[in-house]
Structure 1
Amino acid sequence: MSLPASAEQALAAFAQCPGWEQRARLLMQWGERLAPLSDAERCEANRVQGCESQVWLLAERDGAHWQFRASSDARLLRGLLALLLARVNGLAQAELAQLDLPDWFAQLGLARQLSPSRSNGLQAVLTRMQQLLDAADQGAIDH
């Protein structure tokens, strides 16, 4: 499975970081790239359950491919979300279902820094993405 261009950029950028401090700084910078969500979009219906921090997720279909938007009240988590979106945006549903989240963050050199709660939170975001796609397939949502 080939990587989206934004995921390739992320891998290249994080490969340049010799240590955790540089990666953490880069992570914060990636988090600032997330398009802000409006107050209306930061509603309970868009909130991801299972995250310790507040996380909101929206999905839009573009033909067979999906674009996600997300935000969080936690800076580090915004960076992780930005990297997750870099990896998943533009994928088809079948590709999204095959995504190995721990492997993606390991490739970025961030796996050791993911606490169990952060790891669970990101897994909850991925699960929510899958739920949104399933609901769209059933015609429940049409963005």
Structure 2
Amino acid sequence: MAAQAFEDIVEDFEFIEDWEDRYRYVIEQGKDMPALDEALCVPATKVDGCASQVWLHPTIEGGVFRFDGASDAMIVSGLIAVLRKLYNGLSLAEVMSVDARAELERLGLNEHLSSQRSNGLRAMIERIRLVVSEAA
């Protein structure tokens, strides 16, 4: 189960046939994302396993998961934005029940990302799942 904001991306992707346009769409999602406070770009929030610099700052309030993030790469910022739309606003149990790989396959991302980007995306998902599992 993905958040409704992610379902909106899936619907948008149905109308965008060309992968280059989809790539630009993902980048735009990253540009539209609120900036992460530089004070939060510290080793504790850095995600290892990404080719780019990536920071994720999760919060859990009232059992609801949210996170903000940043990267020094435009496409990775877009991937962070996509993950935010996949997970933000879900309960901890819902976050753990999301099959991120299957959800992202609906966008065709697995076929069009380099192996380094795919590894980084997996590392971000693993970090989110770790944070939620530790909080549950």
TM-score by length of 1: 0.87
Distance 1:93 1:116 in 2: 29
Residue pair 1:71, 1:81 contacting (<8 A) in 2 also: yes
Higher helix proportion (structure 1 or 2):
2
User: 1:132 maps to what in 2?
Assistant: 131
Distance 1:5 1:97 in 2: 16
Task: Give the number of aligned pairs.
Answer: 136
User: 2:57 maps to what in 1?
Assistant: 58
Residue pair 1:54, 1:74 contacting (<8 A) in 2 also: yes
Q: CA deviation at 1:77?
A: 0.8
- Unaligned 5+ segments in structure 2 are none
Q: CA deviation at 1:135?
A: 3.6
TM-score by length of 2: 0.91
What is the aligned-residue identity percentage?
A: 35
- Unaligned 5+ segments in structure 1 are 138-143
Residue pair 2:95, 2:132 contacting (<8 A) in 1 also: no
Q: CA deviation at 1:98?
A: 2.5
Distance 1:64 1:28 in 2: 30
What is the letter of the counterpart of residue 17 of structure 2?
P
User: 2:82 maps to what in 1?
Assistant: 83
Residue pairs, 1:35-74, within 5 angstroms: 35-74=34-73
Distance 2:7 2:129 in 1: 23
Residue pair 1:14, 1:109 contacting (<8 A) in 2 also: no
Task: Please give the secondary structure, in 1, of the residue aligned with 2:60.
Answer: strand
Task: Please give the secondary structure, in 1, of the residue aligned with 2:40.
Answer: coil
What is the letter of the counterpart of residue 74 of structure 1?
A
